[in-house]
Amino acid sequence: MTVDVYVSRDASALSLGAEAVAKAIAAEVRSRKADVRLIRNGSRGMFWLEPLIEVSTPAGRVAYGPITPKDVPGLFDAGFLTGAKHALALGATEEIPYFKSQQRLTFARVGITDPVSVADYVANGGYQGLRQALSMSQADMVQAVLDSGLRGRGGAAFPTGIKWKTVLEQPTAQKYITCNADEGDSGTFADRMLMEGDPLVLIEGMTIAGLAVGATQGYIYLRCEYPHAYQALQEAIAAAYKARYLGTDVMGSGRRFDLEVRLGAGAYICGEETSMLESLEGKRGEIRVRPPLPAIKGLFGQPTIVNNVITLASVPVILAKGAQFYKDFGTGKSRGTLPIQLAGNIKQGGLVERAFGLTLKELLYDYGGGSASGRPIRAVQVGGPLGAYIPASQFDVAVDYEALSAIGALLGHGGIVAFDDTVDMAKMARYAMEFCAVESCGKCTPCRIGSTRGVEVIDRIIAGVDTDRNLRLLEDLCETMLQGSLCGLGGMTPFPVTSALKHFAEDFRR
Amino acid sequence: MVAALRSRPGALLEILHGVQAELGYVPPAAVPVLAAELNLSRAEVHGVVTFYHFFRQAAGGKHTVRVCQAEACQSMGAEKLTEHVKTALGVDFHETTADGRFTLEPVYCLGNCACSPAVMRDGDIFGRVSPERFDELLGEWRKDS
């Protein structure tokens, strides 16, 4: 009987040597004439165990890891194809506590299926949302998304259903669905994992969006730093066209939806929605002044949905299982689940999808296992380079939109970067300004000039020059950027700076 | 290439990607050609080429090595790694080694933040790269290029 063996094609797994492991397995299979089908899946998101190998046994999938090519002959000798014992055996994959305690809705198939196989996708619950959608009116589809409480997972947390409703109400013939896959925030990789591990769920979500608002063309705007995601998306889109889930006759409905991937070119600002639209039009990624909103006048001047990868990939489960099912997860105004990314100086980094409401402490210690260096975690940055630094005294905060906002922080795209006690917070504040200076599109003065002046002021503070005066000046500058910038880059760069000043004042007076 | 892509909406970025994939950079001489073909001004094309960090206006090395500078990698020693890489290659950022093999570039996040610090060579990604691990990798790269 053919045994299925899984080795991930996820970029993080590859970065730890998964390709060499896959090659070693293929070589052993040939020399031992074993009856094995090697499947390149996504990652389960437990990166301290990668490269992870899984084997399908009659009792379910069992895991071994982390594996190096040198371990492979020994695994065959030990009989891992039947799930036998081995020093690196981890038991049933789905019984590993880190994985077992999760509530995976958006990531339901990531790490499980062959990411580019439509048959595998359908066999594991795929395209049920689209099937359901095809039996509904446009207004009902939009209402389902509205009722689910889904909010934009890219960071702005705007109710997705309201955006869709606005686009639906435009009388224009040509509308667009655009997916913002310019995941530039440090500490975030959920979009990447999803596009590499289950790209078809994103394709399905965009197709549903197209049907719901009457758009026939979709674009995925992908950052060029993600070549592995690009490859997976291209393969999955080709497979979906071949199986007629994309194209002129979606699932035999007679309705059309076309989809293509466009590559960015290394500009953080293009994660801002209007800048992304400019870039998709082949222009400099300079932000647009709003209004008009993209939902009214977006790509090529037409009504356009701009949603993040995770937002769109959460739509199929909402349509398949109903708005109420999704809404029953979560708390307060933060409904559904959130794929949280544990990153930086953390022992067990990876992806944790859970209903909103876990505390930072649970995430950092119960899942993350504390710092990678073994030293105390002194600070975390939540929400990317524009997110606030949170001190250990506030680790009891719940990770949801409202609770974080109440302590002056933000959730952003759900990335959590841990720093141990060797971190110099004045340096991190300087970096926030420096990053803004490198990535500013230059359209507005507070961002373009303010960030450069910010670096200079912090340099003077670090050098101990006229500290009190320069600290006042820095706060004043932050206020100007916050109030006067056109978009979130200049407007939010002050968050890491002022939070570092507030919670780690001692680092600025040495 | 222009003929194949010109009719697509918003084609300039795609064409520039194509030019850079073919030639390794976007030569200034290509700007007026693209402008004429796409019915844009030279300033518009030049503006796009210079806006994006990824596009290069002069030839680089045979391979591009990118070292992540973002926060997650900083928390795991990216600063030390960067210094080491600069010394090992004998170049600063945006420079090419004397033998023409490697151009060193900073990058702001490779999405490998649970396996920091991260390095990319062309399309290949590497995680948990200590200075020692970088030396091993460089040894392998020198053999195959």
The string of pLDDT tens digits covering residues B65-114 is 999 999 999 999 999 999 999 999 999 999 999 999 999 999 999 999 99
Q: Are residues A148 and A34 in the same domain?
A: no
pLDDT in tens, A422-453: 999 999 999 999 999 999 999 999 999 999 99
Instruction: Chain A: give the shortest CA distance to residue B34, in Å.
Output: 12
Residue B110 lies in a domain: yes
pLDDT at B4: 79
pLDDT at B1: 77
A298 close to B (CB below 8 A): no
A368: domain CATH number is 3.10.20.600
B122: domain CATH number is 3.40.30.10
- List the domain range (segments joined by +) for residue A67: 3-100
Mean pLDDT of A153-175: 96
Q: Are residues A247 and A361 in the same domain?
A: no
Give B6's pLDDT tier (boundaries 50, 70, 90). Answer: confident
pLDDT at B2: 78
B126 close to A (CB below 8 A): yes
Final residue in a domain of this structure, among A71, A100, A129: A100
Q: Does the bond joining A292 to the residue before it have cis omega, within 30 degrees of 0? A: yes
* Angle (nearest 5°) at CA A106 between A346 and A135: 175
Q: How far apart are CA A454 and CA A452, in angstroms?
A: 5
pLDDT at B88: 98
- ipTM for this model: 0.97
Q: Are residues B68 and B47 in the same domain?
A: no
Q: Are residues B40 and B90 in the same domain?
A: no
Inter-chain residue contact B111 with A431, CB threshold 8 Å: no
Residue burial A160-187, b: 16+ Cβ < 10 Å; e: rest: bbebbbbbbebeeeebbbbbbbbbbbbb
Say which of A225, A345, A415 has its CB closest to residue B75.
A345
Say which of B12, B110, B127 has its CB closest to residue A225.
B110
Is residue B129's pLDDT more than 70? yes
Instruction: Chain B: give the shortest CA distance to residue A432, in Å.
Output: 9
Q: Are residues A219 and A320 in the same domain?
A: yes
Domain count, chain A: 4
Is residue B5's pLDDT more than 90? no
Q: Are residues A129 and A56 in the same domain?
A: no
Inter-chain residue contact B111 with A187, CB threshold 8 Å: no
Residue A264 lies in a domain: yes
A195 close to B (CB below 8 A): no
Give A306's pLDDT tier (boundaries 50, 70, 90). Answer: very high
pLDDT in tens, A447-483: 999 999 999 999 999 999 999 999 999 999 999 999 9
Q: Are residues A385 and A449 in the same domain?
A: no
What does the mean pLDDT of chain A come to? 97
The residue written with tokens 């073909």 in the block is B37
* Residues in chain B within 8 Å Cβ distance of A281: 9-10
Nearest chain A residue (CA) to B13: A282
Backbone phi, then psi, for A305, in 5-degree steps? -90, 125
Inter-chain residue contact A300 with B72, CB threshold 8 Å: no
pLDDT in tens, A48-102: 999 999 999 999 999 999 999 999 999 999 999 999 999 999 999 999 999 999 9
Identify the three-state secondary structure at position B23: helix
Say which of B14, B111, B128 has its CB closest to residue A183.
B111
Q: Are residues A133 and A231 in the same domain?
A: yes
Residue A174 lies in a domain: yes
The residue written with tokens 């399905």 in the block is A204
Taking the CA atoms of residue A423, residue A376, residue A350 and residue A18 in that order, the dihedral angle to the nearest 10 degrees is 80
pLDDT in tens, A381-395: 999 999 999 999 999
Residue B114 lies in a domain: yes
> Using CB atoms and an 8 Å cut-off, which of residues 323-362 of chain A contact chain B?
341-346, 349-350
Is residue A162's pLDDT more than 70? yes
Residue B46 lies in a domain: yes
Q: Are residues A138 and A76 in the same domain?
A: no
Q: Are residues B67 and B43 in the same domain?
A: no
Say which of B55, B75, B128 has its CB closest to residue A265.
B55
Is residue A21's pLDDT more than 80? yes
Percentage of residues in chain A having pLDDT higher than 70: 100
Q: Are residues A7 and A140 in the same domain?
A: no
A431 close to B (CB below 8 A): yes
Residue A130 lies in a domain: yes
pLDDT at B3: 80
Final residue in a domain of this structure, among A273, A294, A327: A327
Residue A105 lies in a domain: no
Q: Are residues A276 and A143 in the same domain?
A: yes
Give B145's pLDDT tier (boundaries 50, 70, 90). Answer: low
Amino acid at A403: A
B19 close to A (CB below 8 A): no
Q: Are residues A216 and A234 in the same domain?
A: yes
Q: Are residues B82 and B28 in the same domain?
A: no
Q: How far apart are CA A264 and CA B109, in angstroms?
A: 14
Amino acid at A476: D
Q: Are residues B47 and B67 in the same domain?
A: no
Q: Are residues B32 and B70 in the same domain?
A: no
Residue B58 lies in a domain: no
Amino acid at B73: C
Residue A270 lies in a domain: yes
pLDDT at A16: 98
Closest Cα partner for B46 from B61, B33, B21, B28?
Answer: B28
Residue A18 lies in a domain: yes
Contacts 24+ apart (CB under 8 A), A232-238: A232/A9, A232/A115, A232/A116, A232/A195, A232/A196, A232/A197, A232/A199, A233/A195, A233/A199, A233/A202, A233/A261, A234/A261, A235/A115, A235/A116, A235/A199, A236/A115, A236/A116, A236/A199, A236/A200, A236/A203, A237/A199, A237/A203, A237/A261
Mean pLDDT of A396-402: 95
Final residue in a domain of this structure, among A282, A298, A327: A327
Both structure tokens of A187: 């500490």
pLDDT at B144: 79
A39: domain CATH number is 3.40.30.10
A232 close to B (CB below 8 A): no
Q: Are residues B71 and B125 in the same domain?
A: yes
Inter-chain residue contact B115 with A419, CB threshold 8 Å: no
Q: How far apart are CA A102 and CA A450, in angstroms?
A: 42
Count of CB pairs separated by less than 8 Å, A with B? 152
Q: Are residues B25 and B96 in the same domain?
A: no
> Using CB atoms and an 8 Å cut-off, which of residues 43-82 of chain A contact chain B?
47-48, 50
Inter-chain residue contact B75 with A341, CB threshold 8 Å: no
Q: Are residues B10 and B73 in the same domain?
A: no
* Residues in chain A within 8 Å Cβ distance of B55: 265
Residue B78 lies in a domain: yes
Domain count, chain B: 2
Q: Are residues B47 and B70 in the same domain?
A: no
- List the domain range (segments joined by +) for residue B34: 2-51
Q: Are residues B98 and B138 in the same domain?
A: yes
Say which of B12, B53, B73 has its CB closest to residue A266.
B53
Residue B18 lies in a domain: yes
A11 close to B (CB below 8 A): yes
A299: domain CATH number is 3.40.50.11540
Give the other-Cβ count within 10 Å of A288's Cβ. 19
Both structure tokens of A118: 């439509």
Q: Are residues A319 and A348 in the same domain?
A: no
pLDDT in tens, A247-266: 999 999 999 999 999 999 99
* Residues in chain A within 8 Å Cβ distance of B49: none
Residue A397 lies in a domain: yes
Closest Cα partner for A457 from A446, A441, A443, A472?
Answer: A472
A485: domain CATH number is 1.20.1440.230
Closest Cα partner for A383 from A505, A277, A488?
Answer: A488
Residue A109 lies in a domain: no
Is residue A496's pLDDT more than 80? yes
Mean pLDDT of A102-119: 98
Q: Are residues B138 and B114 in the same domain?
A: yes
Q: Are residues A480 and A341 in the same domain?
A: no
Residue burial B100-123, b: 16+ Cβ < 10 Å; e: rest: eebbbbebbbbbbbbbbbbbbbee
